[in-house]
Amino acid sequence: MKTLIDFFPIALFFGAFKLYDIYVGTAVLMAATVLQMGLIYRIDGKLQAMHKITLVLILVFGALTLWLHDDRFIKWKPTVMYSAMAMGLSMALWIFHKNFLKLMLGSQLALPDAVWQRLNVVWILYAAFMAILNGYVVLYYSTEAWVNFKVWGYAFPLVFIIGQGLYIAPHLKSDDSQQETPAP
């Protein structure tokens, strides 16, 4: 169910764009994201920092798109978000010597520090790659192509998350090994 909640704003955006235009699609995206965050809040009792950032960026860039009737704002939103993520993770790691991923997920995943370090660097590279890729599509392709890229481009995060799962799986301690008791 959570996966459906994650993808329904982009699906509604795509449908509204195809039926109408980028401006109706943007308004639908804004409304669907507010609804999405409300559902997440109701289920989890809170919003994660990334949820809040996404909501604010969609509302701000969406409002600018609608108010100025300029689709460039909504199209650049992913580049801004991914760039901020890459810079934030980089600064935390290399300036403040903090691994933000470990701070956020360390209570849920017991991984060696070297694995956390590599994961953080991979997230930085992924966010930078996605920022550059979105920027490239915005600059060199039509709005129609950008919308199609947004929808079918969800393959990138899916592949990234699967790859990340495959990477960390061997480093996870199984519950079975912790629960086994020696035979009498």
Local confidence band at 16 (pLDDT 50, 70, 90 cut-offs)? very high
pLDDT, position 179: 44
- State pTM to two decimals: 0.85
Identify the H or E element spanning 145.
helix 143-152
Name the pLDDT band for 147 (thresholds 50, 70, 90).
Answer: very high
With 0-12 CB in 10 A as exposed, 13-18 as middle and 19+ as buried, what is 133? middle
Residue ranges per structural domain of the chain = 1-70, 72-172
pLDDT band at 174 (very low <50, low <70, confident <90, very high): low
SS3 125: helix
C-alpha–C-alpha distance, residues 146 and 124, integer Å: 23
CA atoms of 57 and 180, how far apart (whole Å): 48
Separation of alpha carbons 41 and 141, rounded Å: 36
% of the chain exceeding 90 in pLDDT = 71
Q: How far is CA 65 from CA 70, 71, 77, in A?
A: 5, 5, 10
User: Mean pLDDT score of the chain, rounded to an integer?
Assistant: 90
Q: How far, in Å, CA of 76 to CA of 24, rounded?
A: 17
Q: Taking residues 126-139, what's their average pLDDT?
A: 97
